[in-house]
Amino acid sequence: MSSNAIIFISLSIVLSGISFALDKKKTLEGFKKGWKMFRNVLFPFLNILILVSLLLYFVPPDVISKYLGANSGVLGFAIAAIVGSVTLIPGFISYPIAAGLLQQGASYSVVTTFMTTLMMVGVVTLPLEIRYFGKRAAITRNILNFIAAVIIGLAVGLILGWIS
């Protein structure tokens, strides 16, 4: 079991205990809500785990590290930022993919850029965004976020490099 799992297990036990002591009914309601949310993401999640297991098997690490690794340079960022911007992958699903890419030799900078564009830039949803914000604001927001995503990717890579 990973240390992360231990964090979540202990935190959920402590919080449940406190919550239960304060209000039994509310706690059960919370459990119910949590279970519902978990159920909603479970199958999409299983599907993506299958995809990641296939990816780990079929895509050799040297291919990943060549195109998305520390020495991939501008190309790695470009691939990550563009794929992240045009695909519509629910955010929670991007984490196992990100972990798989890192395991296969992608750099933190590139993976962070990919995830950030995925979350903040939406080319596919742009028409919808325009309906709310108008063309000018929607396009400007996406461009600014695209630039921010690359900066975030670079900075996170640098900082994690310093720390470790």
CB of 77 to other proteins, least distance (A): 16
Considering the complex, state which of residue 65 and residue 108 has its C-beta at the smaller distance from other proteins. 108
> What is the token pair recorded at 140?
């400007």
Give 79 or 156: the residue with its C-beta nearer to other proteins.
156
Q: 74 vs 131, which CB is nearer to other proteins?
A: 131
Half-sphere exposure in the Cβ direction for 109 (13 Å, CA): 23
Q: State the minimum distance, in angstroms, from the CB of residue 64 to other proteins.
A: 15
* CB of residue 74 to other proteins, shortest distance in Å: 20
Tokens found for residue 104: 């296969």
Among candidate residues 159, 150, 164, the one with its CA nearest the CA of residue 111: 150
Tokens of 40: 């909603």
CB closer to other proteins, 27 vs 67: 27
Helix axes 73-86, 61-68, angle to 10 degrees: 90
Distance between start and end Cα atoms, the chain: 23
Any idea what DSSP says for residue 59?
Answer: S
3-state helix, strand, coil in the chain (%, to 5): 85, 0, 15
CB of 39 to other proteins, least distance (A): 9
Q: Which is nearer to other proteins, 36 or 74 (CB)?
A: 36
In angstroms, rounded to a whole number, what is the distance separating the alpha carbons of residues 86 and 114? 11
Quote the least distance from Cβ 57 to other proteins, whole Å: 5
